Amino acid sequence: MNLPYPLLSETWYWLAWGLWLPLMVLALRRAPWSAFQEGGRLHLWLGMVVVLLLLWSMKAGVKPGLDLHLTGIMLFSLVFELPLAFVGFNLVLLGLVLNGALAWESLALNALLTAGTGLLLARLLQLGVDRLFPRHFFIFVFLKGFFGSALVVMGVGLGFTCLYGLDGIYAWNYLLEEYLPYYLLLGFSEAWISGMVLTLMLVYRPGWVATFDEAVYSIGK
């Protein structure tokens, strides 16, 4: 999920910057920066950014733009919620730009397709789980942490597939047969890794997960 420049038509990149700028300003204004005053929160946020930078640097792919890598989108959104997560993912992309793995022209488009789409899906899934299921520890872990992580990364993959198909970069049959199916495997890996990390946090450091309320998600409920 590393969209290089200039793979797509120039218009896509400029449209992305026009959408990214107000979203970034909104995220910066709404981010709960006061949460960093709590012990260890800032270090946790920066640590997750560094880990994601390493994960996003390790990717597999055979053609330009058809890269695959773990995202950590659902996990980041559960631990820090949307505004801080969006800012964090943009720092990850900025790190990729600085080390030469990503062109600055494609930063906004990558941010919208990966972080923007992924975080939106993550939020919708979280709201759906809260509305349809009881507030229970194991529901939080399995539906949000495990299955939610898999669905989010597959949704991001579908977004990249549609963009490449609409712009005519790759043939639809090639994308649907040789690219999109691999997101099923990636989703399985994302589910296990994110789910296990989330479980460890909830067991040993539940205060690190901003969307988790111990009074609500009680194991005994």
39 pLDDT more than 80: no
Other CB atoms within 10 A of residue 132 CB: 9
pLDDT digits (tens, 9 = 90+) for 74-111: 999 999 989 999 999 999 999 999 988 888 999 999 99
| pTM beyond cutoff 0.85 | yes
CATH code of 10-29+36-208, in short, is 1.10.1760.20
With contact defined as beta carbons under 8 Å apart, do 79 and 208 qualify? yes
220 pLDDT more than 70: no
What pLDDT is stored for residue 221 in this prediction?
Answer: 44
Long-range contacts of 217-221 (CB under 8 A, 24+ apart): 217/135, 217/136, 217/137, 217/140, 218/136, 218/137, 219/137, 219/138, 221/134, 221/135, 221/136, 221/137
